[in-house]
Amino acid sequence: MADTVLITGATGFIGGHLLAANLKKKRRVRALVLPDDPGAKRLADAGVEIVQGDIRNFDSVREAVRGVNIVFHCAAVVTDWAPKRLFWEITVGGTENICRAASEEGVKRLVDMSTNDVFGLNENVMMDETFPLKKWGEPYSDSKIDAEEISWRYHRERGLPVTMVYPCWVYGVGDLTFVPLLADAIVKRDLIFWRKDVIVWPTYIENLVDLLMLISEDPRAVGNGYLVHDGESVTLQEFCAMIAETMGVSPITTTIPYPLAYLAALAMETFWRITAKKTRPLLTTYTVRNLGSRLKFSIEKAERELEWKPKIAFRDGFRRTMEWLKTLETDTLKQK
């Protein structure tokens, strides 16, 4: 009998690709979606079982988990600009509900989506999964750490079969948070740099999903966490220059001092909060710190333990993403 899987965050970028991979594998797929989620009809039309509910509500979560073999937990607040309470209500509280329900319902695998951000900002070493989780004062990364600690507690105390995944910069067709935002800023000439040779570790969506699907089946993955990227890095300037070439505009070359960028982000965030603006500030402290780092991450553990390697090279993944990007209307690039 085919496995039944639950995907939280199924209407999002990663969740959507993961959903397609599970359907292709002939698994029965269920998704927990908010009652007013406009993406629910698309999922239902694809043959996905829809459970309407809120991940912050345990009864909704337990209904979604009941009868499921595998849970892919992708739901979280995936932005650097939202009310802080939402990070802990959705990312942290939602993970608590998922772990409790999965434990009580006897789920055989929980694949939990974290982020490479949880390892902090140490530029002096090649970081891997042995590094301790380190908060850096930003709600996205810090709430991910709190959520991960819940998952590992359920693993230790209740035997919940958890595997953690730490994607780096995920990009690809359907991306809403990385490449299109950079493209929008490049086209509008809103982008500036505040540090040279910033390192980016791209993670093509199909490479990420390939590892997630392997993890959902391989018993060696239980109790482990795995970093994932395309196996190579590029500088942020190089990445943005390639986007600029695709968009037919000149590359961005303007650079300001890092302290000035950070102060500007603090000022913008303060102004946005005081005025209760609905939009996102042009700069946030998270963006300045994240796009101003030279971090290094190893995927050797997944290669060694699971014999996994990225199937699609960065240049190929980037080319496919750019082909998709060129089909978008310029004024629709910025959606978050």
- pLDDT digits 0-9 by tens, 135-190: 999 999 999 999 999 999 999 999 999 999 999 999 999 998 889 989 999 999 98
Q: Domain spanning 4-171+201-230 has what CATH number?
A: 3.40.50.720
Q: What is the mean pLDDT of residues 69-78?
A: 95
Other Cβ atoms within 10 Å of 209 Cβ, number: 21
Give yes or no for a contact between 237 and 186, defined as CB atoms under 8 angstroms apart: no
Where residue 255 falls (left for φ over 0; alpha for ψ -120 to 50; beta otherwise) is: beta
Instruction: Give the torsion sign (CA, 287, 38, 213, 4).
Output: positive
Tell me the pLDDT tens digit for each residue of 295-309: 999 999 999 999 999
The Cα angle at residue 335 between residues 333 and 336, in degrees rounded to 5: 130
Helix, strand, coil fractions of the chain, as percent rounded to 5: 45, 15, 40
Domain ranges in the chain are 4-171+201-230
pTM: 0.94
Residue 336 — pLDDT band, cuts 50, 70, 90? Answer: very low
Q: What is the mean pLDDT of residues 20-47?
A: 92
CA atoms within 13 A on the CB side of 313: 2
The stretches of 248-308 forming alpha helices (DSSP H) are 258-275, 285-290, 300-306
Q: What is the mean pLDDT of residues 97-108?
A: 97
What one-letter code names the amino acid at 275? T
Residue 38 — pLDDT band, cuts 50, 70, 90? Answer: confident
CB < 8 Å & 24+ apart, contacts of 85-90: 87/139, 87/140, 87/142, 87/143, 88/143, 88/146, 89/56, 90/55, 90/56
Other Cβ atoms within 10 Å of 151 Cβ, number: 23
Tell me the pLDDT tens digit for each residue of 198-211: 999 999 999 999 99
Give yes or no for a contact between 166 and 114, defined as CB atoms under 8 angstroms apart: yes
Q: What is the pLDDT of residue 37?
A: 86
Residue 332 — pLDDT band, cuts 50, 70, 90? Answer: low
Q: What is the mean pLDDT of residues 99-104?
A: 97
Tell me the pLDDT tens digit for each residue of 223-266: 999 999 999 999 999 999 999 999 999 999 999 999 999 999 99
* DSSP code for 276: T
Q: What is the pLDDT of residue 278?
A: 84
Q: What is the mean pLDDT of residues 49-71?
A: 95
CA atoms within 13 A on the CB side of 136: 19
Q: What is the pLDDT of residue 335?
A: 55
- Cα separation, 240 vs 298, in Å, equals 23
For every residue of 59-90, DSSP letters joined together read HHHHHHHTT-SEEEE--S--SS-S-HHHIIII
